[in-house]
């Protein structure tokens, strides 16, 4: 396992004076930027490929889980890019504007991290790397606060449950370090969005996402991908035939 820093270019991102909530989010982003583990998939059973019909399958083993995470990060990054271009963000309160801007930055970092790391792990073999996906967010009104924040809530809650559920299938301990860092940031996102969106001061850790043992929900890839598919956001078809079902 080679240890190599992975740098993400943040040129062009806006910078504002942090408030406490934003500082909370910012520190989470720094934790991910500092992740310098270069992934290496050496298991012959780890496969991802373009099927004869031109549909990409995420693959099996650790590579399949990494491609799965990459798909989710592409979705979140694309959503927040649309948020940043929408009239709701442009006209929102200073606090909400800063929080959403930080979430946008984090998701772009996550997306680029996985793209770079997976490509390196398979020695540049693009046939094993999930392609860039196309999205359709026409069902979201990016000029409406409720539409944006309710969608963000669903995506962030889903992201946390996805990482928690996928962790048990990872075979390489170093991958758990990466997943643990990223899911901790995703949980901060979920808490921040819930705090903005709900009137209940306890909503950031509601009973619908934290169980009686004080643990976040964990859902298998099949359940997550089914839920994501029902949103209609992802236009590019891909399969997950080799990922664990439960």
Q: Write down the pLDDT at residue 46.
A: 53
Choice between 30 and 138, residue whose per-residue pLDDT is larger = 138
CATH class of 59-233: mainly alpha
Contacts of 94 (CB under 8 A, 6+ apart): none
Kind of pairing between the strands at 238-239 and 49-50:
unpaired
6 has pLDDT over 50: no
**In the structure, what pLDDT confidence band is assigned to residue 29 with cuts at 50, 70 and 90?**
very low
Note the helical H segments in 137-220. Answer: 145-166, 173-197
Q: What is the mean pLDDT of the chain?
A: 81
Residue 13 has pLDDT above 90, yes or no: no
pLDDT score at 5: 37
Give the residues across from 37 on adjacent strands.
3
- Least confident segment among 75-79, 92-96, 132-136, 214-218: 214-218
Q: What pLDDT is recorded for position 210?
A: 64
pLDDT at position 120 is 87
Q: d(Cα 121, Cα 130) in Å, to the nearest integer? A: 13
Confidence of residue 91 (pLDDT cuts 50, 70, 90): very high
Residues 124-149 have a mean pLDDT of 96
Q: Which two tokens stand for residue 223?
A: 């359940």
- Whether pTM exceeds 0.75: yes
Map 67-124 to HEC letters: HHHHHHHHHHHHHHHHHHHCHHHHHCCHHHHHHHHHHHHHHHHHHHHHHHHHHHHCCC
Q: Where are the domains of the chain?
A: 59-233
By mean pLDDT, which of 22-36, 38-52, 200-214 is the weakest?
Answer: 22-36
Q: Is the pLDDT of residue 8 over 50?
A: no
């Amino acid at each position: 396992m080679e240890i190599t820093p992975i740098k993400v270019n943040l040129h062009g991102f806006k910078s504002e004076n942090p408030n406490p909530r934003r500082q909370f989010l910012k520190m989470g982003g720094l934790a991910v930027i500092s992740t310098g583990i270069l992934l290496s998939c050496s298991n012959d059973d780890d496969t991802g490929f373009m099927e004869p019909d031109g549909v990409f399958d995420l693959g099996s083993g650790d590579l399949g889980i990494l491609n799965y995470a990459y798909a989710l990060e592409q979705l979140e990054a694309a959503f927040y890019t649309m948020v940043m271009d929408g009239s709701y963000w442009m006209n929102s309160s200073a606090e909400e504007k800063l929080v959403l801007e930080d979430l946008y930055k984090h998701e772009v970092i996550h997306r680029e991290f996985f793209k770079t790391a997976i490509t390196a792990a398979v020695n540049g073999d693009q046939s094993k790397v999930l392609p860039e996906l196309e999205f359709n967010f026409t069902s979201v009104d990016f000029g409406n606060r409720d539409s944006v924040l309710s969608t963000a809530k669903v995506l962030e809650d889903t992201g946390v449950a996805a990482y928690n559920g996928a962790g048990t299938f990872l075979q390489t301990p170093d991958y758990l370090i990466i997943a643990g860092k990223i899911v901790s940031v995703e949980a901060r996102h979920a808490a921040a969005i819930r705090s903005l969106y709900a009137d209940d001061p306890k909503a950031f850790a509601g009973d619908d996402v934290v169980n009686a043992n004080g643990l976040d929900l964990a859902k298998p890839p099949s359940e997550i991908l089914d839920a994501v598919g029902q949103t209609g956001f992802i236009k590019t078809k891909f399969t997950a035939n080799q990922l664990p079902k439960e």
